[in-house]
Chain A
Amino acid sequence: MSHFPFTLLLAVLISAATALLGNRSARDRVYHAAYLLLSCLIATLAGSWIMYLIHG
């Protein structure tokens, strides 16, 4: 398994777990999970590009 699928797996686990916390409606939980997963993906892609531009 390469780094990207593994990072994606961790992002899915963390998004799912944090969406389950608290006293929220199912709709809010889905929004929260989707928002966090998307944020993780964007941060990973941005970080990857920054490292690529620095190190080549």
Chain B
Amino acid sequence: MKPAMMALFGWLVPGGAYLLLRRYTQFALFLLLVSSACAAGTALQGGNQWPHPAELQGLDGFTVIVAQAGALAKMLAGGAYLAARFLDGNHTFLTGRLHEYGTTLLTLAGLLNLLALADALELRRAMPRKVNQA
């Protein structure tokens, strides 16, 4: 499987890139970690939407970049993030600032999924060529 397809699947299914490498334990544990962090973040009313320009008004450039990077990090949780948006997508960026615990957990979920994806791609590269093409 090509790295781009693997990355897409790994994004959509938390830890899914491990599944494609037949590393079932790592897949199950990452799925559990990312999903539970995302569920807890949603339950704690963390903000899961992209910040609107009106919400960023009056902030300096660096803070705007940090706010947008935080929103991007949440999106990295893939399927869990989409489910959170679908089930409970009313929390704006400003609401998220009020419920910091939830927002932190959502951000962590995204970063954990990115970590899993990067590791799976690294493991794929280290595998023998024959297995890569399978």
Contact = CB atoms under 8 A, between A and B. Distances in A.
Q: Is the interface of A mostly helix, strand, loop or mixed?
A: helix
Q: Is the interface of B mostly helix, strand, loop or mixed?
A: helix
Q: Kindly state the interface size class of chain A when it binds its partner.
A: 10 to 19
A13 B119 contact: no
B34 to A, nearest CB: 9
B118 to A, nearest CB: 9
Contacts, number: 30
A18 interface: yes
13 contacts: A10-B108, A13-B37, A13-B108, A13-B112, A16-B29, A16-B33, A17-B30, A17-B112, A17-B115, A21-B116, A21-B119, A22-B123, A23-B126
Interface of B: 26, 29-30, 33, 37, 101, 104, 108, 112, 115-116, 119, 123, 126
